[in-house]
Structure 1
Amino acid sequence: MTTANPFSHLPPPEMIKELDVEAIRAEVLADMKARFQAAGIPFDVENTAYEPAVIQAEINSFRENRIRAAINDAAAANLIAFSNGSDLDQGATFYDVTRLAGESDDALRLRTSLAIKARSPGGASYWYALAARRADVRIRDVDAFEDVFLPIIYISVLSSEAGGVPDAAMLDAVNAEVQSDQVRLLNDTVVVQSAVSQTLPVKAGIWLLPSAPMATFDRLADELRAAWERETGIGFDLEPSWIEARLHVPGVKRVQVEVPSAPAVAAPGTAIALGDIDLTFKGRDY
């Protein structure tokens, strides 16, 4: 579970129509031609750019396309999956979710999704995850799970800062929220902890294509770290193949991942943080 859009797998709804101004123009001209011919008036100037009737048809087509776009926007504004800004605020309010100070649209969208799932009674994991997320806008991911042998609920917290390690203020805020009478069920023992269990380095050799600028290599480390923070979360394994795929951007000829040499597995409820990223420029090749 990360801060990515939880509805991203959904296709656009049928109410949102594809926009094609050329198709609208063709329909308008075909309708105009049929009406002229029905009245016994010849019309064979649809391909004449400076014909007044054609110009008027093009104007009408652009206006109709703008109207259809506005209808699409209005339809999307009513859907949590596609709305943004104040439209998303309005939709989230229906589920008793309000935006935190500085909270992004994707983070609010995710909390709204959790609020819907968390309405199950009995303290489901979604219930605690939702409570934890509203404690601090800097939270990147949360996982609530029960101990295998003991009647203890652990809440692992992953930060969007400091490589994922939450600071004391974040953990204290989450603990205060989940231990409150409004959240914790009477029989639950809840423990809040940092999700980061291991920090691992990355080392790889990079070959560029002859035409690629060195700037391509220079930004690879930052792009790799940003991709890890954007795409992963608690329970995500660090795979050499994932590293290679993210480093193999346009302009890169070859990537040789040296560390880790094998997949690093994240235990349940834990997260892996990236340590030093050591990339070596190996030269150029076709």
Structure 2
Amino acid sequence: MSRLYDTIEPSVIDDEMLNTAVEEQGPKEEAGKIAKAEGIDFADVGSLRLDYKNILKIDNLWCFKSLVKLQLDNNIIERIEGLDHLTNLVWLDLSFNNIDVIEGLEKLVKLEDLTLYNNRISRIENMDTLTNLHVLSLGNNDLDTLENILYLRRFKNLRTLNLAGNPFCENTEPSYKSYLVAFLPHLEYLDYRLIDEDTKDAAEKKFDVAIEELLHDERGAERKQKEKEEQEMQLQLHTAAFVERMDGSDLFESLYTEDVEGQKLNTMPGVDELLGEYGKKFTETCKNIFDVGLSKHEEESPRS
């Protein structure tokens, strides 16, 4: 179980702790003596164990830029932080701590194996950038909402998942295992057991309607996201060419809408017709400027 630091003297990750850990885990015998005599550059260290150190806060690891494997299990850590510089991490163990929120992992885009077993986490979140995630352990936490597991559908490389020991595992209808197998089709192992084809087929049949509805919603969301990204790209292009919002009536309408005094003209007879004609000419002029500006920008871009 997670431990309370009010009964334990917290430790700080300082140079003494790091030097000791690196020496203990480094080369032995003659090679070890040479390494100790010459000094070990933290930037060259690929693996580091800091387990069972009573560490309260993750800190002072910024020098370990080549680190691939980091073990911080069985401490009293409360927050995931101080890892932004460890961009080469592939394996991270934060099990048996006091963490209650998944955070601080955005820069660890190479991470493949993440262990958060036996903490106080109540929600799966803030992991969008971990697209290479292959193994995830979240067993023995405080996850109580089965639908939150759908967040993991975005991880197409996820093959091994451990969720045993969470509140939703008990008295859940439908069975959380069949639910997970149905909605996370890329999984191969669940709670340390291989998922066989019969189990997959049964789960898919049980939730076929719900899965189809979910797929429909996901396709719609993907479509909207793609449209949004394309619009943002177009806006960036138009901004770079100094012609943003000039390919339609948006500019005129925004200027007129924001003109408080201009709104008073609406009460005068015949103004609507005049404004309509003026707006048409204004928009045509803007469109001409837009076409020329965009064409000029595209001609110059290859040479820039």
TM-score using structure 2 length: 0.25
- Which structure has the bigger radius of gyration? 2
Bigger share in helix: 2
Structure with the largest fraction of strand: 1
Bigger relative CO (Cα 8 Å, ≥ 6 apart): 1
* TM-score of the aligned structures, taking structure 1 as reference length: 0.26
